[in-house]
Chains A and B, each alone.
Chain A
Amino acid sequence: MEQPIISLKGVTYKYPDGNVALDGLDLDINKGEAIAIVGPNGAGKSTLLQIIAGLIPISSGTLTIMGKGVTADNVEKSHELEWLRRKLGIVFQDSDVALFNSTAWNDIIFGPLHLGLPTEEIVSRGERVMEQLGIQHLRDRAPYHMSGGEKRKVSIASVLSLEPEILLFDEPTSDLDPRSRRGIVDLLKRMTSEGKTVIVATHDVNAVPDFATRIVVLKRRVLASGDVRTVLSNESLLETSELDVPEITRLFKVLSSIGYTTSELPFCIDEAVKQIKASSARVHVHPSTVSNMESRCDP
């Protein structure tokens, strides 16, 4: 059996003030997986990503990435983790944190430049990722003259230019308009189809079924881990972890309560379309049922 690309055993992380963010966390991630890490605020999602990225040292336990151990000692001496920087990229939630240069181009080439790549390679990578994300027009623009969606794309480009095998995203769809959000979800799907290992910490359960092959429910430790259908069908787990099902699933739950029959609940638009096409059921809705439906749809 192939070894996991990332392995965390009994990982605990305590903040300097003594509060525990992660408590004895065990998690194995295989190459090419697209994992959504979900959980309530304060569950430790961002902390977990920063630990995997070798940015903050674990208090106890072991972290192995591509068969190599990442210890608290070599996290402190950041030059000892150069191999990790070449293999793994992290996109921060706050784009203003990730874009610390005065132009998009300078941010995009920052990684390759600091890994000591030849100039031609740096320029080629920079131009390639800008084309890939359609942001050539932002090349010389300062971050304070960009919209939220543009900043997010540039911060993703600044990580993709490292050409990492493992990509970590912290809330990539938060604070984005619907079109930008769609673009980011499509990008996550594309990354997965290219065989990259993608790990996304998110609150956006609507986006999860679109790209994730596995969901990990986190609340200081792993509460559950499994495919999208198994986890999102477990109502008691969703209750415990303060999560909800995607909007489309809620809609079909309401529809099924008024007589629409489906073989199984869909979790994304594509599944819903398949369900509708496959279903021969027709709904004849009485006006009183409509008003009942409206009350169910109220948030």
Chain B
Amino acid sequence: MKFLDEYRDSATAAQLARSIRKTVRRPWTLMEVCGGQTHTIVKSGLLDLLPSEISLVHGPGCPVCVTPLELIDRAIAIAALPQTIFCSFGDMLRVPGSSKSLLDVKAAGADVRIVYSPLDGLKLARANPSREVVFFAVGFETTAPANAMAVWQAEREGIRNFSVLVAHVLVPPAMEAILSSPNCRIQGFLAAGHVCTVMGWEEYEPISRRWHVPIVVTGFEPLDLLEGVQMAVTQLESGRAEVENQYRRAVKREGNRPAQERIAEVFEVAPRKWRGIGEIPSSGLQLRERYRAFDAIERFRVGVESVEEPSECIAGLVLQGLKKPFECPAFGTRCTPETPLGAPMVSSEGACAAYYLYGRHKHERSESELPRTASRG
């Protein structure tokens, strides 16, 4: 597949790895922001190619992992209503709320459907005029244009039986929150490439300046990540701290203007609670007044109890890159992909699931015998 396979070439990967090894003089800790990047790293065993001086920490770039508990409980309550058809991306189905997940509710008879695109949700609404179709609008800025278009189009067509449960989160505020934590060890970022196809990278420049950290807009294939690491390390070794673009084939500095305009038309910035981190001001999106009629929270006034949760899950510390999954007392024992205690174990991009699936055996055997999965340092 063009523009995909070339970026998985092993000879080129080896060459980039050599180049990184030549550049590195000191240990560095980098964070890759996006869950999709984490996925590639663990799936391709990328850490095996990096020198041990480089430590890659997995960031909170997994909208599945950071969707607040209350929203999941609300989604479940809405899905359980007999008149609703609840549509969602596949990722969200397994995430546990306070007592169950959407998959559980589906198993109990609720009409929960996996869709590929929010426009599929709209199609369902047109085809089922007597049902209420609700779409779980989760995601970072990458997904916001799609969700915005669905709402915008619904309004244009006068579709009354469609609404969205908004759970959008924004990346730059999350990065700032991580950087402002006193325990922050992150020295450079691989920014989420697809978020930047939409938003460009202008908004990262003040962050890079304020915190003096290199931020490299990076793609998602193994070669992209290797090149991104190389660019970040080159900056760090020379004391530079700028925003650079590794993902040049897809990202422009100003991003995608039509997409940004549609987002601004439909959504406005709002405070948002991040599961495992807490509330971060101006870090989420909500529907503007004009489109509030499409807000599922307003349309379905479901009571959601706030629950006192036991805090055995250290998702917060893991999501901020402060702890590794295997440092959690429940990791691999009470908390596994079958019985997840928190979202990072459910989502395949979650740091905990990634470590569980690919690296838990590390602690039963000596490191040299196993695929290297945990970064040292």
A and B co-occur in one complex:
no
Point out residues on B near A: beta carbons under 8 Å.
Answer: none
Point out residues on A near B: beta carbons under 8 Å.
Answer: none
